[in-house]
Amino acid sequence: IDDQNHQTYGGVIVFRDVTENRELEKQLTYQASHDELTGLVNRREFEIRLSQAILNAKVEHSHYSLLYLDLDQFKVINDMGGHNAGDELLKQLSKSVKNILRESDTLARLGGD
């Protein structure tokens, strides 16, 4: 703030709490990269991580493994027990497999099953 002689004699400082905005950003980022039901990495995030692993393997001459699991006839579970039963199976299976993986490993849900 200047006076009539253009001498500075004060100032204004404005603070704004952005905590809520940052939390919403984190939540949106998480939702964009994770499956809502299981909390696992989704297809989009998996493809990003896979591309990075392939690049690392080429540049650093490192090795990676990929295991693809297909729940054969998963539709039967949904048809016989309902979608709640199928959802519960997916959540329990995800939790069980995640518990045996290393922190550095990626477990993803790529599709509906």
Active site annotation includes 17: no
Tell me how far apart the alpha carbons of residues 57 and 23 are, in angstroms, rounded to a whole number.
Answer: 35
Of 42, 33, 65, the closest CA to residue 111 belongs to: 42
Longest dimension (CA), the chain: 85
Which of 98, 101, 99 has its CA nearest to residue 109? 98
Annotated catalytic sites, by residue?
Answer: 113
